[in-house]
Every structure is written in structure tokens, then in C-alpha cells.
Amino acid sequence: MQSNLVRFPIPEMSGNSEQTLSKTFTKYDCAEQQFSELLATEDLDNKLDAQVSIVSEFEATLQSAICDAYQKGYGKDDAHCFLQRILYGINRLKLFWYDDLRHYNNERSLYLSALCQQIEAAWQNWELAQIDVAALQQLDVKDALIKRAAEDLEPPLSPQSRYIREEMSLVGYCHLLAIASFDGLVEGSRLSRILGGAANEVQCTLVRVLLEEYGNGRLSRKHSTFFKAMMAEFDMNTQPEGYLDLVPWEVLACANHNFLVTERKRYFLRYNGGLTYFEVGGPAAYRNYLTAAQRLQLSEAAMGYWELHIREDERHGRWMLDDVALPLAEQYPHDAWELVLGYDQEKLMSDRAGGAVVRSIREAEHSASLINEIEKIRN
């Protein structure tokens, strides 16, 4: 995991200027440091007895966070953030980072697996409580998916969308890139973890989506390459997870949810329902970002990722609905409602994450304004 000190460029100031944000050291920061030590312990499962103090303190904080996040209404943001960061710290071991091989020594740790399941159980119960699952089970699934996709393809502009399109500054745009780089620079596609198994038409469609998102095996055409070019234009850190500390817990939750539904094949329908929304609803969000980049008169490189995603996701959305979700609804008539559950849950979590990103952008712009005012006074 990253340190609690975050630096990123502010374009409206001098080219090499950096803003430094720090936060008060809390019990959760201490527990996260303890988790990092456990994660780095070689052969962790056989050395837990030698670290009783660290383990007991960490587990006590974990239990406290689960209570604060999931047993008290909406829960406390710092508890949510801690739990999602711990969960992501475990889940990211399922991806290969081209780093020291010893970093993967604990990827099959039973202790880490138990922690993961403990957090997921409480978290997923909390998430599902926000959806009327019984009502979904009564739907005409194919009709429900078709109607949802039609509505989400070109939704009305929300206040958040208008803010991004019409008001977000260059500082805000760079902050958006910093947060989005968590996903944009990392090839953590859910599809790469779901394709193994029997061959059929549904699987072939999923492979087609994967190949396009991975640039058909050409580095120059990969989505992450386009995202890196956008960031490089502003002299931003283009290392994967370079801005992890800026990522709101709501965004981390989306990533962790993706790990959950791809690692458990029983959730295959939920996964495909979620991916259907992701592809159908994606272009609307990317159009907001593209419109903001055009208003700010940025270069083609600074908006190429959005243009690519809009073109491809419009096509992928049609494929996912017509060639994946609807055929699966026919193949699994008694469980087909899980497709709608996956769709609705993905939308709910994406909307929540989008709201958190806009709040973070506003805070960054406010901080930048204060810094500029201070510099004016000093000069």
C-alpha cells in the first residue's frame, strides 16, 4: 500500500510545482501499517504465532471498522475506506505487477483469505440491503434488461455531469485523471479472470470485448497506453497506483466488488449483468469527461482515452445486451434475475463512486484556490 503522503502536479501553477496533502495519523493508518507488515511477512500463515501482538491489534481494529461501517446505517467513511483498502491489498495479489516475485509469497495465504471473506461477508450484506432483491426476482428479466439499457444509454444530465462538463477546472481535470488512473493504468479487466471454461457463443462475445479492450495484443492500442498519454501531457506520475491515496473508498469498492464476482463462478450471472451496465453506461460518463477536455481546449492526446472508450463501449454495450445478457437469461430462466441484480448493483455502486469523485475534485479545486491566494499574499 502507498504512504499517506500524496503529491501531484497543479497545472495552473508553475510546471514543476507540486501540492502536498497530508492527513492526521489515525488508528486505521496504524492498522494499515500493521497489515502491510503482515503482508510482507514471508510464509505468513506459519509465522502468525510470532506476531501475536500485531495480529491481535490489527484484528481488533478490523472488527471495530466492520461495526462502524456496516452496522450503523450508512457507516463512517474512514471505516469504509480502511476496509476497502485492506480488501484491495489482498485482491491485488491476484494481478501480476512485474515486480519482485517474493511479493507473491502469501497469495494463497489462508489467513489473508479468511480476512477477505470476513470483510466481504459483512460488506456484501450491507450492499445487498440497499436493493429490493425480492422485487427483482419477480421481474420479466429480458424486458427489464432491455428497458434499463435503453434508459442508461443516454441518461439525462445530472448536476454532477453538468459540473464536470461546464465548470470543472484544469486542476479538477488533473485530479480526475489521478483518481481514474487507479483503473486506467492497470490491466485488471474482470474479463481476463472470467473466460476459462466451456466454449460457446457467449464466451466468444466476451473474448471479443476483452481483445478490443486489450488493444488486440498491441501495446500501442491498449487502453492503458492511451490513459498514460493523457497523464504524461500534464507531467503526472504514470506509474500504476501512483495516486492510490487519492482514490475514494467508493471507487475501491467497485474494484473489490469486481474481484468478488469474477473469482466466484456462482456469481457468473451477476458479473455479466454488471458488465452489461458498465459497457452500456460507460459512454455517457466518458462524454462528460471529453466535453470537459474540449472546453478546456486540451490536446488530442489529453482526451484520446475518452474518445476510444466511447467508440468501443457503444459497440460493447450492444454486444453485452444482445449476445450475452439476453442469451444467458434464456439459458438460466430460474436464476436470470441475478443478471438484473448485477446490473442494478453495478449502477448503484458506479453512481456512488461518481459522486465521491466529484466531491474529491471540488475539494482539490478549493485547496488549489487557497494555495493560489496564499501565494498572491506572499508576493
> What's the pLDDT score for residue 19?
40
HEC secondary structure over 296-364: CCCCCCCCHHHHHHHHHHHHHHHHHHHHHHHHHHHHCCCCCHHHHHHHHHHHHHHHHHHHHHHHHHHHH
pTM here is 0.91
Q: What is the pLDDT of residue 192?
A: 83
Please give the chain's pLDDT, 379 residues, in tens. Answer: 333 333 334 333 333 334 444 456 789 999 999 999 999 999 999 999 999 999 999 999 999 999 999 998 899 999 999 999 999 999 999 999 999 999 999 999 999 999 999 999 999 999 999 999 999 999 999 999 999 999 999 999 999 999 999 999 999 999 999 999 999 999 877 788 889 899 999 999 999 999 988 889 899 988 899 999 999 999 999 999 999 999 999 999 999 999 999 999 999 999 999 999 999 999 999 999 999 999 999 998 888 889 988 999 999 999 999 999 999 999 999 999 999 999 999 999 999 999 999 999 999 999 988 777 676 676 6
Where are the chain's structural domains? 6-128, 134-378
The CATH code that applies to domain 134-378 is 1.20.910.10
The answer to whether the CB of 278 falls within 8 A of the CB of 304 is no
